[in-house]
Amino acid sequence: MLFIEKVDVWLFQTLNLHLVHPIVDDFMVFLTSGKLSGHILWLAAIFIVLRRGKKGFLVIIFTLLAVAFADFVASGLLKPLVQRVRPCFALEHFRLLIIQVKSYSFASSHAANSAAVAVLTWIFFNKGAVIDKLFNLLMIMYALLIAYSRVYVGVHYPSDVISGSFIGCCSGLLVYLFFSWVMKNVVHLHFMRQEYLVG
């Protein structure tokens, strides 16, 4: 086993076996299950629309595209390519707090998806009013807790969630930059030409 893999296993067992508490167990299970904590994202979508109006729907569309891209890279490309066995199936000493079907570990799509959401909300809300900044902070904390919960409940190594979070951040930025480029170089130029022809 390579040194970096040993460190990954050691860190996983430290977070999964030692830095734990029964009170935190239920909270981590709640966070890591989309069926339980998914309504938080619905509340976030409602907040975005209430704060940004029609533009809020555009933010939501960007976010959904970023999540879809992040999920595709993490689960559609990397998991079948790397084929890393999850720690709950590879190690002898661990705590498994949820039912986990046989699937690959690298990279964490939960971490990727939640990071993509956090990046898009940061882009659109980091310069807003105090309530917007508070919302932005909550979404970043939510993404970090989702990533941490995957290690805590026993289904991912730390490197899985770190890589997944990186993928999610890159996905959010790429989606934003792509559509910014389209708006500036395609849509804006089209309207300028139309105005020139009319004028």
pLDDT digits (tens, 9 = 90+) for 5-62: 899 999 999 999 999 999 999 999 999 987 777 888 899 999 999 998 888 999 999 9
Query: What's the whole-model pTM score?
Result: 0.88
Domain at 26-198: CATH code: 1.10.606.20
117-161 residue pLDDT tens = 999 999 999 887 899 999 999 999 999 999 999 999 999 999 999
Q: Considering only the C-alpha atoms of the chain, give the largest distance between any 2 of them, rounded to a whole number of Å.
A: 75
Task: Kindly tell me the burial class for residue 128, based on how many C-beta atoms sit within 10 Å of its own C-beta (0-12, 13-18, 19 or more).
Answer: middle
Q: Model confidence over 51-83: pLDDT tens digits?
A: 988 889 999 999 999 999 999 999 999 999 999
One-character DSSP codes across the chain: --HHHHHHHHHHHIIIIIS--HHHHHHHHHHH-HHHHTHHHHHHHHHHHHHHTHHHHHHHHHHHHHHHHHHIIIIIIIHHHH-PBPHHHH-SS----S---S-B-SS-HHHHHHHHHHHHHHHHHTTS-HHHHHHHHHHHHHHHHHHHHHHHTTS--HHHHHHHHHHHHHHHHHHHHHHHHHIIIIIHHHHHHHHHHH-
Residue type, 109: S
Q: Where are the domains of the chain?
A: 26-198
Sign of CA dihedral 13, 159, 63, 50: positive
